[in-house]
Chains A and B, each alone.
Chain A
């Protein structure tokens, strides 16, 4: 069982709510953020982040959580699923580049480990493979199939 390395419980809950909205369970392939604990994967991926970028990530998480208190009178985690989705779409499509970039940074850091997870690649039926069908140490060591 992996443990949190950089977030406290509070940040973990915020990260979980955001991840769950970005990649919910169901749809084109079944597993979503909750099924693979994407918030934990996100936390663990940051274990070698520099101090300053880590501060930025944590601040961005807090901003996403608390900015809606001003505009919607409730924090992100207190919103329902549809409201959360619309709120994040608002960040993704904001006319302010800084807001868009902060969201893109979080989205990338959540989705990179998510789409790297074996359960997700299997669910998506993604199998990296090379063009040459002969012996391929990379494919073998990654447990991947070769294309014949």
Chain B
């Protein structure tokens, strides 16, 4: 059953076995496994429920308003201002993500075991979960025909330079290559969790409430007794009715930013590490103009990658957005700005993201009833970003670019490969870059070292008997690759752990 604010006309009261806050990568999988084990599950999701028919009606800038929080421009403060888009819908950020699927790298899992004492999460132990998740969300390898010219051009450049590259794996069936993945797939080709795990959980009896915002956690004798919240209007966010859920077990899956925020707002500290250790995979977009016609909006926006420097923590992945998102950041105004904008069909773009093992950030309650997020980019990680941008620029020139805009303050464009040296000769600072981030992780990290972790190896909160956390916040370090498969697979594993220990957690 799925209810939205439209279906509700009085206060809601629920007493399920399990209440899950958040219906994204973590929450959806948790709901499916727990309801499959016969547990009575209620999911509260602040965002709305959208179907492909509804996405199709919206232009990308409308989608930013309705499918994202803060118009897709949640801000991270620090030396550099970084934009962190966060999804808000039934299906969470999976509804707006690019669909790229990577398993957790083996060395990352090994590091978590060695450094943080995470148990039962070796590559071998995680393998069956990766497989089940990938089967459920239909992960396939993209074929070059799906790429569109934007991806093909980058491949051509990487091949010319002899740089290792390949096609990404995506969760999709029958993709039309319409380039809209980040605005809700109008074909239901991208297999976000509202198309698989959520309907499956509903069939097993789970009740999903859209427009249901969890606000207060009532604690009594070391246990979460109640979740109080509001049914809110989809457009205004105004409270319409109250919602009270009294579960035996609470799972927080509100994402890396909102999970610690909800706990902090309720003065539930769990550990001094709560809200700290935020990693984000800082990312930059490099654009380039060509003489040839590209029409980059045709094709899968993130279809291929260059992993030649992955061992250094630098990944290059495709990215392409419609004109209303791409053109405003072109560095020019007036008639010159219009001239550049008019060359949109000749524009190519690619993304660089770096593994931020040395940097970290913090989430804490801020003004305006929203979290205040800060982040400090370590010079070592900044160097990786600089190198990544330089490599992407070289690839564009190798593919025949006329000019490359590295998105760096003070450098309007490179017009030949020799200009790229400026990336290393100038003393570039973090705030010289137009940075974005798409993969927040780590604010409630797991592990077996009590003082160092917020939850144990299976997501059980330290200090509260009936609280689990299952979303991107539990990962102790940055992954170096896109995280949705990791989040879903750990959520599946942790849900099974709850089921296996039902007596302990659900009496």
Contact = CB atoms under 8 A, between A and B. Distances in A.
A45 to B, nearest CB: 7
Contacts of B295: 129
B337 A115 contact: no
B179 A112 contact: no
B179 A130 contact: yes
A132 B189 CA distance: 13
B379 interface: no
Contact of A128 (B81, B148, B322): B322
A97 to B, nearest CB: 4
A28 B342 contact: yes
B365 interface: no
Interface in A27-51: 27-29, 32, 45, 48-51
A63 interface: no
Given A27-B339, A29-B342, A52-B367, A111 B327 contact: yes
A79 to B, nearest CB: 14
B177 A131 contact: yes
B8 interface: no
Contacts of A52: 367-368, 370
B122 interface: no
Contact of B338 (A27, A53, A112): A27
B298 A48 contact: no
B180 interface: yes
Given A27-B339, A97-B81, A128 B71 contact: no
Of A26, A85, A124, A131, the most chain B CB neighbours within 10 A belong to: A131
A106 B176 CA distance: 34
Contacts of A88: 333-334
Given A29-B342, A138-B180, A116 B328 contact: no
B59 interface: yes
A73 B484 CA distance: 54
Interface in B186-201: 186-187
Nearest to A144: B178
Interface string A88-110: 11001100010011001001101
Given A49-B71, A113-B61, A128-B297, A101 B81 contact: yes
Given A28-B342, A50-B370, A116 B178 contact: no
Nearest to A101: B81
A138 B333 contact: no
Given A128-B322, A131-B298, A48 B65 contact: yes
Contact of A97 (B61, B178, B409): B409
B341 A124 contact: yes
B333 A28 contact: no
B367 to A, nearest CB: 6
A14 interface: no
Contacts of A124: 323, 341-342, 344
A21 B334 contact: yes
B431 interface: yes
A92 to B, nearest CB: 6
A64 B338 CA distance: 21
A59 interface: no
A138 B81 contact: no
B61 A130 contact: no
B235 interface: yes
B331 interface: yes
Contacts of A108: 328-329
A141 B56 contact: yes
Contact of A147 (B179, B298, B323, B345): B298
Contacts of B236: 48
Contacts of B52: 137
B329 A139 contact: no
Contact of A50 (B57, B70, B186, B328): B70
A129 B432 CA distance: 35
A142 B338 contact: no
A145 to B, nearest CB: 12
B78 to A, nearest CB: 11
A23 interface: yes
A25 B78 CA distance: 38
B338 A128 contact: no
A121 B297 CA distance: 14
Interface in A110-128: 110-116, 121, 124, 126, 128
Interface string B328-365: 11010111011101101100000000000000000000
B333 A129 contact: no
Nearest to B409: A100
A102 B229 CA distance: 35
B324 A111 contact: yes
B146 interface: yes
Given A27-B338, A28-B341, A50-B370, A112 B325 contact: yes
Given A28-B339, A124-B344, A115 B324 contact: yes
A50 B369 CA distance: 10
Contacts of A27: 335, 338-339
Contacts of A114: 324
Contacts of B409: 97, 100
B338 A29 contact: yes
A84 to B, nearest CB: 9
Interface of B: 52-53, 55-57, 59-61, 65, 70-71, 80-81, 145-146, 148, 176-180, 186-187, 235-237, 295, 297-299, 322-325, 327-329, 331, 333-335, 337-339, 341-342, 344-345, 367-368, 370, 409, 431-432, 434
Interface of A: 21-24, 26-29, 32, 45, 48-53, 85, 88-89, 92-93, 97, 100-101, 104, 107-108, 110-116, 121, 124, 126, 128-132, 136-139, 141-142, 147
Top 9 A-B residue pairs of the complex, sorted by shortest distance between their CB atoms = A131-B177, A138-B186, A28-B342, A130-B178, A111-B328, A52-B368, A97-B431, A27-B335, A115-B324
8 contacts: A23-B334, A45-B61, A48-B71, A92-B331, A112-B328, A113-B61, A128-B179, A138-B180
